[in-house]
Amino acid sequence: MPSGIGGIAEAREEVIAACFGDGWVEYEPKLPIVEHHAHLELPLDTSSVYIGVPSFGSELRPSQWCNPFDAMSPSAGTASDLYEDWLNDRADLEYFLRPLFGKTLRCTCESPGRCHGAVLVRMCHDFAQKARGKQKVIQPTPDEDDKEDPPTQTGTDTVVSSEISRAITMTEEWTQLVSKIRGLSGRCFWEVFAGSAILTERFHENGLPTAPPVDIATQPTFDLLNPCFLAVVLGVLLEGRVLL
């Protein structure tokens, strides 16, 4: 929710408070690193986040962290500048960056030395410096391809807070759901708001990989109005484990 409109911003804060509470949780955040690939296969491991726009015919889908200016800018440098300006204008920047901490950012762009991944890493570092609390940011080892344009980083103590990340308490049902989906070979069909799960039954009958259907009517903890469970569902989707 990038909007900064008063009512929307207030609603966003209420959702965050309901999900994570008001207390600070101190920990050592680890900055993301960037790796580049000519080809990537799904599903990605849980420590990886895809940040690019795939080539035509790829199983990958455009990432929410991709640079939308690559296709319209005449130069990679200009595209990165536009991307950084766009990020700085987001009202939800801290929540946009939060899922990237501790992850390997994987990209398939053709200019690794000028990849927008360096912008994301730099902005994560800047955000960590501005956040509250005092912890040490763990510095990653940069990708060889990024040495042409490395992000500015320091190894000194910096200011960090739980605004970067707070843990979600997983119920047993949520844990089992995620484990079953991760245990499937390849990407699967996943029915959300499933009701009686007729589609899941039909896909399964035809020998296609199917994930357990999600509906509050069959499992009370599968409540998509619960922001914590919604975060679990989005996490599985971002891992690239579901056919979209």
10-residue mean pLDDT profile of the chain (244 residues): values are 61 65 50 88 87 81 86 69 87 84 89 85 86 53 51 40 53 91 87 88 88 91 87 83 77
Burial of 220: CB neighbours in 10 Å, binned 0-12, 13-18, 19+: exposed
Q: What is the pLDDT of residue 22?
A: 47
User: 37's torsion region: left (phi>0), alpha (psi -120 to 50) or beta?
Assistant: beta
Q: What is the pLDDT of residue 92?
A: 78
What single letter denotes the amino acid at residue 104?
Answer: T
Tokens at residue 226, please? 């619960």
Q: What is the pLDDT of residue 119?
A: 93
Length of the chain: 244
73/118 Cα distance (integer angstroms): 18
SS (HEC) of 62-96: CCCCCCCCCCCCCCHHHHHHHHHHHHHCCCCHHHH
135/221 Cα distance (integer angstroms): 35
Work out whether the CA dihedral 48, 140, 136, 133 comes out positive or negative: negative
Give tens-digit pLDDT for 176-209. 998 999 888 888 999 998 888 888 998 888 888 8
Q: What is the pLDDT of residue 3?
A: 54
Q: How far is CA 121 from CA 30, 85, 149, 236, in A?
A: 11, 15, 12, 23
pTM summary value: 0.49
Q: Pairing mode, if any, of strands 134-136 and 157-159? A: antiparallel
Q: What is the pLDDT of residue 242?
A: 87
Q: What is the pLDDT of residue 54?
A: 82
Q: How far is CA 32 from CA 29, 48, 117, 157, 201, in A?
A: 9, 10, 9, 17, 40
Q: What is the pLDDT of residue 28?
A: 47
Q: What is the pLDDT of residue 90?
A: 80
Give tens-digit pLDDT for 141-164. 555 554 555 444 444 333 344 444
Q: What is the pLDDT of residue 121?
A: 93
Q: Report the run of H or E that residue 33 belongs to, with start and end.
A: strand 33-36
